[in-house]
Amino acid sequence: MKAEIIAVGTELLLGQIVNTNAQFLSVELATLGIDVYFQTVVGDNMTRLQESIQLASQRADIILLTGGIGPTQDDLTKDALAAFLRRELHIDRLAMDHVAQFFTKRDVHMTENNRRQALVIDGSTPLPNATGLAVGNALSHEGKYYIILPGPPKEMAPMFHEQAKPWLLQHALTDEMPIYSSMLKFAGIGESLLEDRLLDLIQNQSDPTIAPYAKEGEVTVRISTKATSEQEAMIKLNALEKQIQSLLPEHMYASGDIPIEKAIVDLMTDQGKTLSAAESCTGGLLMERITSVPGSATVFLGGIVCYSNQMKEKLLNVPHDLLEGEDAPGAVSAEVAQVLAEQVRMITDTDYGLAITGVAGPAYSERKPVGLVYIAIAERDKKTEVYELNLIGNRETIRVRTVKSLLYRLWRIIVN
Amino acid sequence: MKAEIIAVGTELLLGQIVNTNAQFLSVELATLGIDVYFQTVVGDNMTRLQESIQLASQRADIILLTGGIGPTQDDLTKDALAAFLRRELHIDRLAMDHVAQFFTKRDVHMTENNRRQALVIDGSTPLPNATGLAVGNALSHEGKYYIILPGPPKEMAPMFHEQAKPWLLQHALTDEMPIYSSMLKFAGIGESLLEDRLLDLIQNQSDPTIAPYAKEGEVTVRISTKATSEQEAMIKLNALEKQIQSLLPEHMYASGDIPIEKAIVDLMTDQGKTLSAAESCTGGLLMERITSVPGSATVFLGGIVCYSNQMKEKLLNVPHDLLEGEDAPGAVSAEVAQVLAEQVRMITDTDYGLAITGVAGPAYSERKPVGLVYIAIAERDKKTEVYELNLIGNRETIRVRTVKSLLYRLWRIIVN
């Protein structure tokens, strides 16, 4: 099976956004054993959009279109595909209810153009949009398969996983031996070092295959095999997983595609432990990540963002002498990180108190360089651990890397 | 002038990397007044690569190829273009010196395949590579212009700026007028309603053009015009900007591509005002967004994440009677939102205190539905404003929309 991905949107051709949808879908299609030979980007233009669809339907079996299904006049994807297939469009009743409810709930008047978001091509399967308004479409026509997905990645990704992929498996991929995959997740290690540690395994791989890739400060290894049954696949995948884990026991935090904060919340829930945090330069990012995990409320009780020195003193009892004065270590110091962690743990009466203080940039602070960060983990009845980080990157990457680093160290402590 | 961008590389089709080169070049070409009608990605395959070049040369005047010019056997871009144009390749002497020097300097043996990096097409202009090894190419052929650039963005971007762009200006763009653009940013309004309000303007647009698009809870409008000078362009763009602002004064928060938190920090810095926050269901996301703005430290002093009821009582003095008991309004209520905002403002002694409490899901809480959120803004010596939100979406989108909504309301208060 060959697929082609067509991303629709003038904003892509103007370079206002990057076509991450093509990457996402390419990875997903690869795991289904589908080859992608071309990715195309075309603007919100009826003629060129139809040209692209025609070309793709000549050279691929599966054509995935992303974007151009919103409410406005320049959202033309469904119209273009319908015209190319010589089919009509109609309003899908369930999709229309979904759109209408959105406005009713908000008590906002629905403008007429929003009805376009409920349009589907005659004879197609509507793909409900769980995180947005515009309905997707899936249909087969003269031996080719067409899938229409929304442009915003937050809508496109869930719709692909929950709607389009099952549809493809049922309609287009019935003869293929299915591919089964496991995702193994690693922290505290870079992609190249991980690949080095797994080199023998990777070079001798044939079945299952091993594919490492890096993503936002974490490394994922996907192991995949074709098999006639899930049971058969799992035997092969589990054996390889054990081998990989034995080579990297201090870094593999999960079997399954979960972030490390989820692994931490799960572990601490089992252990009946609680957690709090005090953040300076990360401004809430650590707590935001932890509370992004559903069910984190039993583990994470609360915390304090002490962005100014004043708040470090007032809310977290950091001694003034540590913060200011000729010989004071200053806010960005191991001493202050330690006090912050211990104080937030005591104030909230939790088992662990986390703390972060550093220079995220772009300007230096206290004559300390951008990227110097101290992180601390205070544990009830234990000595507080403090770590110095020297990070590179811009403000955003320094903040993200700080949080990843602290979460990795916390995981190492609680996993033992 | 029309351009087409062809990115070459199987790693793009496998989703191992994102095609950021297409975005970079699209932005650059737009500022030169060149329209990009298609972006294509093709693998390291001679036949399909030549097909793509042929198609592009039929529908565009300028064809830019990125990637596939390294030393290995699957780097085929120059071979494919040469074959398509029926020209030969030769080793460029200067480029070969550059490659050889690299290895001599490092005292590393140069393998024979590295000579491929110095290949150029007969009759082309070599484009020196200041940050890498492989030489680029530029040539005109039967009225079309072809540019070959390296795949790695760190090599591609400088080569475009320093070599390809001057070559294009000299050879292809002698008659073109450059495009100038402004970005206008809107909050508290959806794309469809915004378009509805600007419908007359959009339908009658010719010069400057108006293009609205939505992105992560904000709406951006790009207005663009071709002009012989920046001054001439600015007169036209500023006039249109005033017209648009007069139609949506309560929503346009910036002229320039900045998020609303930056507009807020800038305004409050000018006003000499300070800010604090108390967050429950958003778990730190609001404070993380505000502190993502460089220089936010003068405005934002700190805040509290009161994820558990216990912490709402302990850290923010919420009366127990409001939180628990038969007739208590509960943690997710207008009453508690108000106390949180007023208390955090008083504790931190800031001009504004923000508060969020709600049900982000996936499970309901206190028998209240997922998506019910209360936000509050307490201002020194003013009555506290409390708003009820009824949001749809998953946990992440509810949290993001809550923060966007609160930031919009804060902006409305301080802008007046």
Segments in B248-394 forming alpha helices (H): 260-271, 285-291, 309-316, 320-323, 334-348
User: For strand B125-127 and strand B136-141, is the pairing parallel, antiparallel, or unpaired?
Assistant: antiparallel
pLDDT recorded at residue B215 = 67
Min distance B272 CA to chain A CA atoms (Å): 15
User: What is d(CA B229, CA B372) in angstroms, rounded to the nearest whole number?
Assistant: 52
A305 and B284 within 8 Å at the Cβ level: the answer is yes
Of all residues in chain B, the one with the smallest CA distance to A38 is B42
φ/ψ of B282, rounded to 5, equals -85, -10
Of all residues in chain A, the one with the smallest CA distance to B17 is A23
- Residue whose C-alpha is closest to residue A215's, from A260, A266, A158, A152: A260
Neighbours of B142 (CB within 10 A): 6
User: What is d(CA A184, CA A176) in angstroms, rounded to the nearest whole number?
Assistant: 25
Min distance B93 CA to chain A CA atoms (Å): 35
B286 and A284 within 8 Å at the Cβ level: the answer is yes
Mean pLDDT score of chain B: 92
User: What is d(CA B33, CA A219) in angstroms, rounded to the nearest whole number?
Assistant: 41
A396 and B292 within 8 Å at the Cβ level: the answer is yes
The domain A179-255 having CATH identifier 3.30.70.2860: the answer here is yes
pLDDT recorded at residue B216 = 61
For residue B281, pLDDT over 70 is answered with yes
User: What is d(CA A118, CA A215) in angstroms, rounded to the nearest whole number?
Assistant: 34
Q: What is the pLDDT of residues B147-177, one digit of tens each?
A: 999 998 989 999 999 999 999 988 988 776 7
**Which residues from chain A sit within 8 angstroms of residue B292, using beta carbons?**
283, 395-396, 399
Q: Residue B300: which of A19, A131, A307 has the nearest Cβ? A: A307
The larger pLDDT score, comparing residue B32 to residue A255, is at A255
Q: Residue B192: which of A38, A72, A300 has the nearest Cβ? A: A72
Using CB atoms and an 8 Å cut-off, which of residues 338-377 of chain B contact chain A? 347-348, 361-363
- Residue whose C-alpha is closest to residue B280's, from B192, B357, B349, B352: B357
pLDDT recorded at residue B32 = 84
Min distance B330 CA to chain A CA atoms (Å): 16
Q: Report how far apart, in Å, the C-alpha atoms of B260 and of each of A264, B251, B267, B411 are.
A: 33, 11, 11, 8
Amino acid code (one letter) for A156 = M
Min distance A215 CA to chain B CA atoms (Å): 10
Using CB atoms and an 8 Å cut-off, which of residues 269-298 of chain A contact chain B? 277, 279, 281-288, 290-292, 294, 296-297
User: What is d(CA B151, CA B160) in angstroms, rounded to the nearest whole number?
Assistant: 12
Contact by Cβ (8 Å): B253, B186: yes
**Which residues from chain B sit within 8 angstroms of residue A106, using beta carbons?**
390
**Which residues from chain B sit within 8 angstroms of residue A111, using beta carbons?**
192-193, 196
Look at residue B416 and give its three-state secondary structure.
coil
A36 and B27 within 8 Å at the Cβ level: the answer is no
Using CB atoms and an 8 Å cut-off, which of residues 37-76 of chain A contact chain B? 37-43, 45, 48, 52, 55, 70-73
Q: Same topology for domains A2-171 and A260-415, yes or no?
A: no
Min distance A19 CA to chain B CA atoms (Å): 7
Percent of chain B with pLDDT over 70: 99
Of all residues in chain A, the one with the smallest CA distance to B25 is A15
- The reply to whether A214 touches chain B by the CB within 8 Å rule is no
- The reply to whether B388 touches chain A by the CB within 8 Å rule is no
Q: What is the pLDDT of residues B323-382, one digit of tens each?
A: 999 899 999 999 999 999 999 999 999 999 999 999 998 888 888 999 999 999 999 999
Of all residues in chain A, the one with the smallest CA distance to B389 is A106
* Interface probe, candidates B1, B8, B11, B13, chain A, greatest A C-beta count within 10 A: B13
3-state secondary structure string, B16-81?
CCCCHHHHHHHHHHHHCCCEEEEEEEECCCHHHHHHHHHHHHHHCCEEEEECCCCCCCCCCHHHHH
User: What is d(CA A150, CA A164) in angstroms, rounded to the nearest whole number?
Assistant: 12
A71 and B284 within 8 Å at the Cβ level: the answer is no
> For residue A38, what are its two tokens?
């071309």
Looking at CATH, the fold of the domain delimited by B2-171 is given as Molybdenum Cofactor Biosythetic Enzyme; Chain A (3.40.980)
**Which residues from chain B sit within 8 angstroms of residue A282, using beta carbons?**
288, 291
Min distance A177 CA to chain B CA atoms (Å): 20
- The reply to whether B211 touches chain A by the CB within 8 Å rule is yes
Percent of chain B with pLDDT over 90: 72
Of all residues in chain B, the one with the smallest CA distance to A108 is B193
* pLDDT by 10s per residue, chain A, length 416: 899 999 999 989 988 889 999 999 998 998 888 889 999 999 999 999 999 999 999 999 999 999 999 998 889 999 999 999 999 999 999 999 999 999 998 888 999 999 999 999 999 999 999 999 999 999 999 999 999 999 999 999 999 999 999 999 999 887 767 778 888 999 998 777 787 888 888 878 778 888 777 665 678 888 888 888 889 999 999 999 999 999 999 999 999 889 999 999 999 999 999 999 999 999 999 999 999 999 999 999 999 999 999 999 999 999 999 999 989 999 999 999 999 999 999 999 999 999 999 999 888 888 899 999 999 999 999 999 999 999 887 898 899 999 999 999 999 999 98
3-state helix, strand, coil in chain B (%, to 5): 45, 25, 30
B288 and A285 within 8 Å at the Cβ level: the answer is yes
Using CB atoms and an 8 Å cut-off, which of residues 227-246 of chain A contact chain B? none
Using CB atoms and an 8 Å cut-off, which of residues 88-117 of chain A contact chain B? 102, 105-106, 108, 111, 113-114
Q: Residue B308: which of A45, A152, A301 has the nearest Cβ? A: A301
Domain-wise residue ranges, chain A: 2-171, 179-255, 260-415
What value does the mean pLDDT take over residues B65-75? 89
- Residues in CB range of B152: below 8 A, 6 or more apart: B132
**Which residues from chain B sit within 8 angstroms of residue A288, using beta carbons?**
282-285, 288
- Residues in CB range of B410: below 8 A, 6 or more apart: B264, B352, B354, B377
pLDDT recorded at residue A215 = 64
Q: Residue B192: which of A38, A113, A347 has the nearest Cβ? A: A113
B18 and A16 within 8 Å at the Cβ level: the answer is no
**Which residues from chain B sit within 8 angstroms of residue A286, using beta carbons?**
284
State the complex-level ipTM. Answer: 0.76
Number of A–B residue contacts, CB under 8 Å: 252
What value does the mean pLDDT take over residues B284-297? 96
Q: Report how far apart, in Å, the C-alpha atoms of A13 and of each of A22, B5, B168, B219 are.
A: 14, 10, 19, 18
Neighbours of A90 (CB within 10 A): 14
Min distance A216 CA to chain B CA atoms (Å): 13
B294 and A25 within 8 Å at the Cβ level: the answer is no
Min distance A363 CA to chain B CA atoms (Å): 8
B396 and A292 within 8 Å at the Cβ level: the answer is yes
Of all residues in chain B, the one with the smallest CA distance to A45 is B37
A14 and B30 within 8 Å at the Cβ level: the answer is yes
Winning range, highest mean pLDDT, from A209-223, B16-30, B100-114: B16-30
3-state secondary structure string, A362-391?
CCCECCECCCEEEEEEEECCCCCEEEEEEC
**Which residues from chain B sit within 8 angstroms of residue A315, using beta carbons?**
302, 304, 347-348
* Interface probe, candidates A210, A288, A370, chain B, greatest B C-beta count within 10 A: A288
DSSP letters spanning B377-398: EEETTSPPEEEEEE--S-HHHH
DSSP tally for chain B: helices H, then strands E: 16, 17
For residue B190, pLDDT over 90 is answered with no
- Residue whose C-alpha is closest to residue B336's, from B301, B300, B285, B386: B386
Q: Residue A305: which of B220, B303, B396 has the nearest Cβ? A: B303
B26 and A14 within 8 Å at the Cβ level: the answer is yes
The domain B260-415 having CATH identifier 1.10.540.10: the answer here is no
User: What is d(CA A187, CA A194) in angstroms, rounded to the nearest whole number?
Assistant: 10
Instruction: Let me know if A381 is exposed, middle or buried by CB neighbors in 10 A (0-12, 13-18, 19+).
Output: exposed
pLDDT recorded at residue B191 = 80
Contact by Cβ (8 Å): A32, A168: yes
